[in-house]
Structure 1
């Protein structure tokens, strides 16, 4: 397989679950496309109101407003001006009928007609049910539209990245019991984009604009390590066994705490 390291994906539509998913996975690729004059559109399923500590005093409406402002600031740094909220409840995407959500995304796809769709892989990256739903919806919408010129790519990680940042076989950041992170050899990827110094600085700035979610992670790692943590963006093509993977992970129990 020829792995694209250039980041030249044409026009992009990203389908994600929560504010900051898009930045973690693809801020470098989005900024690269914007700088090349390509259209970049971002779809976010929820407003991320559940992504706060249990003792946060703000109401759900106030939390949603915080996440809205932060995402707008983050996308502005990348130059992304087109964004769609699906308006589903954070943590509740599994209860949304797949056909309903996929129809909304299909309509967006039909209007945008991107060269590339970026979304989570069938493990949702962490096993989060909202991530799994975003992958199902984007996959179904891509299949419904059936446009030959649009490519669907799934977020993934390299084995080297997993070893460096989570240790061999570590599942500490996974959100379901018994789930190990997908860890691929570089030649199994479709896209392996490594942000240069200017690009990664812009990505980090866009991520840190989402203060409520990112600053605790920066404090945990320290800025130099965090920068390396987010420098690489890896995507793969869909595989025949992905549907079985989605079903299996959807049936695994959530981790306690």
Structure 2
């Protein structure tokens, strides 16, 4: 007797999956080779996402999202990654870059930033890694000094996905350089902030359409109201973000493996 595979998705979830699957097959797949060959960020894929509200998948309805839950973000990442690693990564990093606000942001911060991410007006980025600080976050050298109603950031980050294309970055910096992990704080930084600069974009062996690069902060004034959580909570926020983003990496791998067969 043949067994029938169980589909755990609801009717609404299947509709979303089928939409993403169709778009991936008909619109994304024909562009995949060219995206990788030219190593250019595919803004046309972002526009495709905007047209079909796909960048709203990681967000609740009250912030302009679909409110369909984390599972559907993973399903979308998987379906897109089957045909184009770069395009799948765009969806994954929109989730990664917004998690700091969703996990640690105030209601005011969520209302101010999340709708612009859910609509696709902004892409997001997560800025933790530095040239001398990868897995050892306590070694980071970027500093943030409170000056009146703003923090002044100086330093830089490296290997940042969406560098140069994101409109919003969640940035980690030391507010107390002597306190190790406990001296790290998290900030929301808009890309048009004076003192924010994009540096070298790395050439890569694969996923070439996705930008990976350096960003720098030169006496960059970030409003104090853009601090996520409290001073010194940045390391905990960073680790919570990474924990929550792991399933997205799995979804990418699953999609890539299926696309390779």
Query: Could you say whether these structures have the same fold, taking a TM-score greater than 0.5 normalized by the shorter chain as the test?
Result: no
TM-score, normalisation: structure 1: 0.28
TM-score, normalisation: structure 2: 0.27
Higher relative CO (CA 8 A, sep ≥ 6), structure 1 or 2?
1
Structure whose CA Rg is larger: 2
The structure with more strand, counted as a fraction of residues: 2
